[in-house]
Structure 1
Amino acid sequence: MLERHGGYPYLETDGSHGCEIAAEVGRIVGFGFIDREIIHRAAEEAGVPKIALQEIAYEGRRNVVDRILQAMNAMPPLPRIAETWEA
C-alpha cells in the first residue's frame, strides 16, 4: 500500500534501479515522482541543515527494519524440522 506525502506516494527505493522504476511506475499510474536529489536541493535552498536530512533518512531506514521485525514477530512459530518429518 502506498502512503501519501503531500500528494505523492512515498516509496522506499533502496536497491537496484529503484528511482528509475519508481519514476516509471509513477508515470504509468499518474503520480509525480520526487527523488532524494530534488528533496536535498530544496532543503539546501530552504536552509535545512544536512544533519537533519541524514537523521530523517536514518529514521526512515530504521522504521523499515522495525516494521519487518514486527511482522516477523507476529508470524506463528515455524515447526521444528523433526516435527515436519513426523507429520
Structure 2
Amino acid sequence: MFGPIDILVNNAGTGIVGPIVQTDEAAFDTVAATNLKCPFYLTAALAPLTVERKLGKVVNITTMFAHIGQSGFATYGATKAALTLLTKS
C-alpha cells in the first residue's frame, strides 16, 4: 500500500488543432475535460487531505498558448488559460 499523497502533478493535456469554426461540441468537451475538469476535481479531492496534514503541493502544467494565443489552438489555449487562473486562485 502507498502512503499519503504529498504532491499532485496535473500534467495531462490534449488539444484540437484547427479553426474554431470546425470544432464540434464533443471535441471541445474532451479537451475541456482533460485540460481543466480533471485537474480541478483531482485538486479538490486532494485538498482536504493536504489541509488536514498541513502538507502537500499541486503542480499544474499549462502552456505558452495560455498567455499569448495562437491561431488554430483556441480550445487548447482557452482551457489551459483557465487552468492557469485556477492555479493562481
TM-score (norm 2): 0.32
Larger Rg: 1
Relative contact order, higher structure (CA 8 A, sep 6+): 2
TM-score (norm 1): 0.33
